[in-house]
Structure 1
Amino acid sequence: MGMKKKSRPPLPKPCIFCPRPKGSKEHFWSEWMHEILPPPPPENRHNRLVFKYSPFDGHSEKGRRDTQGAIHTIKLRVVCASCNNGWMSQLEEEARPALTALIRGEETTLDRAALDTVAQWVTLKTMVAEHNDPDSAVTPRADRIAFRQTRAIPPYMRIYVGSHTVPFEKSAGFLRNSQAIARRSEDEHSTIKKLERIRRALRNGPPQPSPPLGDVPNNIQTITFFLGHVFVHITSTRVDGFAIEDIALVPTLYDTARIMPAQAAEMTWPRDPKFTLDQVNEIGGLMMKALGAQDYYWIRRNVPLPHSAVATAEQPIYTKTAESGSQPIRRQ
């Protein structure tokens, strides 16, 4: 009887920024922030859940409920020690003075250089946060590597910072929505007869994402999180000719609080108007509501069927979960 061959251990997964094996844990809320962020609640527990919806599979949930420990201490094992202790640590130190003023709500004016550094820090945290659930990531590996090498923020990413009225002791939370969509072709919106549109759709197949999804499953996302007296909102729309801001209208945020791409040479802090918790929740869920009312195909990874949907939303802490809606909304 022959000897059984020993199975080789699986190769370690690479760092999200370089070819080295991942293994170093990265704080989402940076360790130096713990002293100036709100103290954890007495029960010192949190949820780390990812919700998904598909018309084929219905609703599903994965992750951990009622996990021991404060939300500030959440770490993600997605990077290598070299990146974590090298360029990432350097970026943290460069962004620290400006972030400290924002978190504490101190009166200050941030110049363009400071705003660019804050935007780079937010981009770093966005890329790290995506990989809490890699099955819903949006930023391709090539763009993550380019960010490590040059700090180039992907052109499809927009970053906003705003003030809020949430009590400081409750101002820690996170919400992420991620989808895969494809735009319909122009002739599908035309006045040709319905039967002819159906024939064309059967002949050509459903529309495909442009640019292609590549090595990530999704192409559009929003992330909203609190840092003390500031809330941060990020939109990533890797879809040709389309931006979330075109269909989800929030003039008081989109027109005045964008720090990347650059909108102004400087920003005074704190900002007016200050957003309420309900308004921040609505901003966090705008993508779901707006896309629910638009004429797009929802794409399921490797099964590009028309009207199939895969949606994920990480449960926020201290905030309610975003809900899908049937009408686009406009907020002041």
Structure 2
Amino acid sequence: MTKEHILPKWMREEFPELAREPVFQGSQNEHDGPTPDGPRTVYRGGKEESGPFNRQAPVVCGPCNNGWMSQLETNVHEPLSRMIRGLPTVLTSERQAVVALWSAKTLMVAYRAPHFGPRPRPEVILPVDAERLYQDRALGPMMVMGLANYQPTPYAREPLYVQSFTRMEHEGGAYSYCATLRIGHFAAQLVRCPDGMYPPLGQIPPHLVLLRPGASAVHWPPSRPIRAGAEWDSFVNLPEETGT
């Protein structure tokens, strides 16, 4: 196995002034208590700070790291660097596939990185999802990727890179999760629905652009941003109700 950088080397060169920015990361795991009206069990990971470009995870084999993943970084460089800066970007069908695959790969590698610390039990992202991503080079059928435009608070310095993982238990042993990655203004959220419950792709919220490889081009940013504070907290956490 080789070490895969969570954030790629090209990003260090693209944003050298951010090399010393802090990294905030956490996870949350919730499930119902023994009775329907009982308290929910909640796990929340801690906060850790360090430079955003130094994190590596020894969870990728050499052929992948130096092959399709390397090509993926080349392909995503131009559109991703624009969105990180908050610049309007047209995402063609091909670019949607590239950004969706890169975002999912980055989240899954970050989740398995040693610096993440003790992961909650049960885990949020199961190995089967990473295996499916590797085999298909695309999101699984129960997954959907949305992009948001993050607007930081004007009166506080915020980190370049934030990640969050939340899992919710449903009736009958089913589960869903969302994994969220934010780099600058770019925010990508991977939602994994329970097996057999396909993602609803009807009305799109105004704060999201859904990536649909094979569909027509979409424009980023969406019509409404996600603002720092309560809006962001609501965005990264699944609702508490099960069965929804």
Common fold: TM-score over 0.5:
yes
Percent identity, aligned pairs only, is 21
- For the aligned residues, what is the CA RMSD? 3.4
Match of 1:239 in 2: 195
Match of 2:179 in 1: 223
Structure 2 unmatched ranges of 5 or more: 35-39, 114-118
Deviation at 1:156, TM superposition (A): 0.8
Deviation at 1:250, TM superposition (A): 7.3
CA distance in 2, matches of 1:154, 1:75: 25
Verify the 8 A CA contact 2:30 2:169 in the aligned structure 1. no
Counterpart code for 1:265: S
Structure 1 unmatched ranges of 5 or more: 1-21, 183-206, 210-218, 297-327
CA distance in 2, matches of 1:78, 1:148: 12
Match of 1:293 in 2: 241
Give matches, 1:33-44, under 5 Å: 33-37=11-15, 39-40=18-19
CA 47–97 in structure 1, closer or farther in 2 if over 3 Å, else same? closer
Deviation at 1:177, TM superposition (A): 0.6
Match of 2:227 in 1: 276
CA distance in 2, matches of 1:151, 1:163: 25
Verify the 8 A CA contact 2:28 2:167 in the aligned structure 1. no
CA 139–155 in structure 1, closer or farther in 2 if over 3 Å, else same? farther
Q: Deviations over 1:288-324 (max 9, x none)?
A: xx2x234x4xxxxxxxxxxxxxxxxxxxxxxxxxxxx
Q: Deviations over 1:65-91 (max 9, x none)?
A: 655x31332222222222212221111
CA distance in 1, matches of 2:8, 2:107: 13
Q: Deviations over 1:77-111 (max 9, x none)?
A: 22222221222111111221221222223333221
Q: Is structure 2 residue 216 aligned with structure 1 residue 265?
A: yes
Verify the 8 A CA contact 2:153 2:228 in the aligned structure 1. no
Match of 2:7 in 1: 29
Structure number, greater radius of gyration: 1
Match of 1:121 in 2: 102
Match of 2:68 in 1: 87
Deviation at 1:29, TM superposition (A): 1.8
Name the SS of the counterpart of 1:260 in structure 2.
coil
CA distance in 2, matches of 1:231, 1:146: 23
CA 117–66 in structure 1, closer or farther in 2 if over 3 Å, else same? closer
Say how many residue pairs are matched. 227
Counterpart code for 1:178: R
Name the SS of the counterpart of 2:53 in structure 1.
helix
Deviation at 1:160, TM superposition (A): 0.9
CA 46–172 in structure 1, closer or farther in 2 if over 3 Å, else same? closer
Q: Is structure 2 residue 134 aligned with structure 1 residue 148?
A: yes
Verify the 8 A CA contact 1:112 1:265 in the aligned structure 2. yes
CA 129–250 in structure 1, closer or farther in 2 if over 3 Å, else same? farther
Counterpart code for 2:139: I
Give matches, 1:133-212, under 5 Å: 133=119, 135=121, 136-141=123-128, 143-166=129-152, 170=158, 171-182=160-171, 207-209=172-174
Verify the 8 A CA contact 1:87 1:148 in the aligned structure 2. no
Deviation at 1:266, TM superposition (A): 1.1
CA distance in 2, matches of 1:271, 1:102: 11
Match of 2:205 in 1: 251
Counterpart code for 2:170: I
Match of 2:37 in 1: none
Q: TM-score, normalised on structure 1?
A: 0.57
Match of 1:203 in 2: none
